[in-house]
Structure 1
Amino acid sequence: MLVDNPALYRQLFLQDTPFIDLRAPAEFAKGAFPTSASLPLMTDDERAKVGTCYKHHGQQAAINLGHRLVSGPIKDARVQVWSGFARANPQGYLYCWRGGLRSQITQQWLQEAGIHYPRVPGGYKALRRFLIDELERLISQRDFVLLAGRTGSGKTQLLNALPGTLDLEGLANHRGSSFGARLAGQPTQIAFENALAIALLKLESTGHRQILLEDESAHIGSLMLPASLRDKMRQAPVLILETPLAERIAAIHREYVQERLAECRRHDREQPFARFSRVLQDSLFRIRKRLGGEAYQRLSACMQAALDYQSRTGDDTLHLNWIRDLLVDYYDPMYDYQLTRRPRNVLRQGSGQSIRQAWKSGCAVPIEIK
C-alpha cells in the first residue's frame, strides 16, 4: 500500500502535531500516537449499531442511522469538545480510520461552527503504515551503540543527559526489570512502535546517524522490541558503565522505594503504603524461581521487616539491606553471565564521565575507542 502524503506525515510527527482521533474508543485503545486525543465521533456502542446496519442494509442506511444517533444535544456536545481542542491547538489535524466519512462529517460540522480544521489524508491507517515503513528504514540505516552496566548503575540518567540517544524504557513506560513496572501501565504494542518510529524520525532529522541506547532484552515489560532492532542490537558495540556498589544501592533505594512510594501516593490516596508494600512483594515474587526458594524466603522476610519498620517509624533505611543482597546475589551474577554469553565489542568501560567523554567525542562519526 502506498501512503498518500509521506512528506506531510513526516512533518506532522516531527512537529508533534496535536491530533483529534475520531475513531471509537475501542479503536483508539488498540494503538494511537503520542500527541493524539481520543475525541470520537461515535461511541463504541454507536459504532457497533452503524456497522450492523451497514452489513444488513448498506452504506446509505448506515449513514442515516449515524446522523440520527449523533444529533441534537449529543452532536452539539461533541462539536463543542472538538471546537475547544481546535482553538487550543490551531496547528492540529483530525483523522478517522482511513480519512473518510467520519473525518469529512466532523470537518463539515466544525466548519459550520466557524472552525476550519484540516484532516489527515488516508487517516490513521496511512499514518500507521508510514510509521511501520519508516521504522524499518530507520533501523536499517542507523548505527547503534549499546550502553550496558549493572542494575542501578545509572544508565537511563546518563542516556538522558547525552545527545543522540534513544530511551527505550521511557517509551515503554517501564524500567526494564522485575521491579520496573509503573502504576500507570504500559502503552500497547502498536502505540510503543509508533512512539519508537517517531523518536527515530526526530533523531534522523537532527543528523544523528549513530544512536546510543540501553542494552535491553527482547522484552521491556510486556512489550517486544521489533525483530529488526533486536538483530541490530545483537551486533552493536558496547559502552559499559561502571558504578560503585554503594552508589548503585543508593540509586535502587531511591528508585524502588522512595520514588515508588511517591508514585503510589499519587495513584492511591486511601492506602498508598499498603499498595506500595504489595508492589514490592509482588515484584520480588515474580523472580522467586530464579532466586531459589531459600533466597526468596530470606529476601521476602528482609523486605517485610523493612516495610514494617517504615510503617511504624517512617524510616526507610532498612530497605538498603534487601536491596544490597538482591544486587549482589541476583542481579550482578545474572549480568556477569549475560556478558559472557557472547563476545562483545567493548568500546569503553568506565565511569559515567568516561562514557560521556567517549560518546561525545564520537557521536557524529563511527566510534573507534581503544
Structure 2
Amino acid sequence: MSELKVKQSDPQEQQLYRSLFLSKTPLIDLRAPVEFAQGAFPESCNLPLMTDNEREQVGTCYKKKGQEAAIALGHQLVASDIQNRIEKWARFKEENPTAWLYCFRGGLRSRLSAQFLKDNGVDINIVPGGYKALRRYLIEVNEQAADKKLIIVGGNTGCGKTLLIQALDNGLDIEGRANHRGSSFGKQVTPQPRQISYENQLAVDILHISQHSNTLVIEDESKAVGTLYVPPLLFAGMARAPMVVINDPLEIRLQRLCYEYCTLMTEKFSQALGPEQGWLAYDQYLHNGLFGIRKRLGTEKFKVINDVLDAALKQQQSTGSVAGHLNWIAPILSDYYDPMYQYQLGKKTGRVEFSGTYQEVKEWLTVNKK
C-alpha cells in the first residue's frame, strides 16, 4: 500500500518512530473506530475521542461551516461523555506508563486529549505527525527492505518452509502475519487482518530483525496470501533474490500436511467453536479447500478424491485417527501441488544457491545469516 506516499519522514522523527516500534511502546489511538478498523499498529489500542457518528457530524460541519464551527460542535458532542473517555485514557496510561497517544495527523484531537489528561493530572506524549506519519514511516521500511539481502526459501508443499522461517531469528513470516498458509487449504479459524495492519506488522518485524541481521529470509510465495498482498516493492525484491530449496521426502511432507490440515485444524476449530460446531466447520474447511482446486484436478479425479476425503472424515470422527487423510493428501500432491510448484521452480533455477533437506537448509541459512 502506498496511500500515504508523500515526502519521506524527518530523520529525527524516523528515529523516534523506530524507537516506539522496537520498544513495543503502548499507543492510544484516538481515531474513530471506523478509522481504526481500516488499519492499525501492533501495540495500539483504540480509545477514540469521538465515536463514528460524532466524527461524521464534525466532518460535515467542517465542510459546510469551517474549522471554528466544527471544533465547537465537537466539544458539544463529546461533552456529556468526555469524563468517561478521559478516565479510559488515564487508566490505560496508569497501566502502561510509557504510553503515547496520536490521532490521524497528531493535531487537534491529540492536543485536546492530552490537555484533557493534563487537566486531570496525567501527562502523556503526543506522536508527532500522528497515525499518518507512523504509517508513512512503516511504508518506507517495507520499501527499503527490498534493497536488503533477501534469501527466499522454496520447496514443494509440505517441506516445512513456514516452520523453517519461524525457527530462524531473521525469518520474515509473511504467511503467519497474513494468518493464511497461502494455498487452497490455507484459511485459518480466525480471519485475516486488514491489508494495512498486515503491512504495518511486516514492517515492525523487519525493524526487529534488522537489529541483529542484515539478511531477511522469506518463504517463496505468490503476490497474494489469501486475500492479502505482499507489499509491492518487497515482492519485487523477493522475485529477484537468491533461493534455497528444501527437498524433503514425500513421507515426511505427508505427515506434516496431515498434522497441519487435520490434527491442528481439528483442535483449532474445536477450541474456537466447541466440539460439535467445530467439527462441522473443520469438515467444511477441508471440503472447501479441495473444491478450490477441482478445476486443476479435473471433474472425475476431484469426485474420487472427495469420496476419499469423506471416508477419512468418517474414520476420524469414529476413531479419532487422521491416518485416512493421507489417502487424499497424497494424490493432491502428486497430481496438483508438486507439478505446479516444479513448473514454477523451473523458471527460477538460476537463482538457486543451495538445496537439501529441511535440516541441511536450516544449517546453511544459519551459517549464511549475515
TM bucket, shorter chain:
over 0.9
Aligned residue number for residue 295 of structure 1: 301
In the alignment, structure 1 residue 126 sits paired with structure 2 residue 114: no
Deviation at 1:337, TM superposition (A): 1.2
Amino acid at match of 2:28: I
Counterpart residue identity of residue 186, structure 2: G
Q: Deviations over 1:94-120 (max 9, x none)?
A: 100000111112111222222211110
Identical columns (%):
45
Who is 2:227 aligned against?
222
CA distance in 1, matches of 2:43, 2:225: 22
Q: One-letter code of the match for 1:60?
A: E
Match of 1:368 in 2: none
Where do 5+ consecutive residues of structure 2 fail to align? 1-6
The residue aligned with 2:146 is 139
1:201-248: CA deviation from partner (whole Å, max 9, x where unpaired):
222222x22221111111111111222222222222211112221111
Distance in 2 between residues matched to 1:135 and 1:230, nearest whole Å: 10
Query: For residue 213 of structure 1, what is the aligned residue in structure 2?
Result: 218
The answer to whether structure 1 residue 33 and structure 2 residue 41 are counterparts is: yes
Task: Calculate the TM-score normalised by the size of structure 1.
Answer: 0.93
Unpaired runs of 5+ residues, structure 1, are: 365-370
The partner residue of 2:361 within 314, 339, 355 is 355
Q: How does 1:63-212 map to 2 (within 5 A)?
A: 63-72=71-80, 74-140=81-147, 142-206=148-212, 208-212=213-217
1:248 to 244, 250, 253: 253
In the alignment, is residue 57 of structure 1 matched against residue 80 of structure 2?
no
Aligned twin of 2:3: none
TM-score by length of 2: 0.93
Equivalent in the alignment of 2:55: 47
Deviations 1:334-358 (A, max 9, x none): 1111111343332221112211221
Deviation >4 Å, runs of 4+: none
- In structure 2, what is the Cα distance between the partners aligned to 1:179 and 1:173? 12
Select between 262-271 and 284-293 the one with higher mean Cα deviation.
Answer: 262-271
Tell me the distance in 2 between the aligned counterparts of 1:221 and 1:335: 17
CA change 1:244–1:23 in 2 (3 A) is same
Separation in structure 2 between the aligned mates of residue 346 and residue 3 of structure 1, nearest angstrom: 37
Is it true that 1:16 corresponds to 2:24 in the alignment? yes
Identify the residue that residue 328 of structure 2 maps to in structure 1. Answer: 322
* Offset of residue 55 of structure 1: 1.8
Which amino acid in structure 2 is aligned with residue 273 of structure 1?
A: W
Q: 1:338 to 1:53 in 2, by over 3 A?
A: same
RMSD: 1.6
The CA distance in 1 between the partners of 2:209 and 2:315, in whole Å, is: 47
SS in structure 2 of the partner of residue 231 of structure 1:
helix
CA shift for structure 1 position 2: 4.7
Work out the number of aligned pairs and report it: 361
In 2, distance between residues paired with 1:223 and 1:210?
Answer: 24
Distance 1:282 1:260 in 2: 14
Contact 1:3 1:122 in 2 (8 A): no
Residue aligning to 2:237: 232
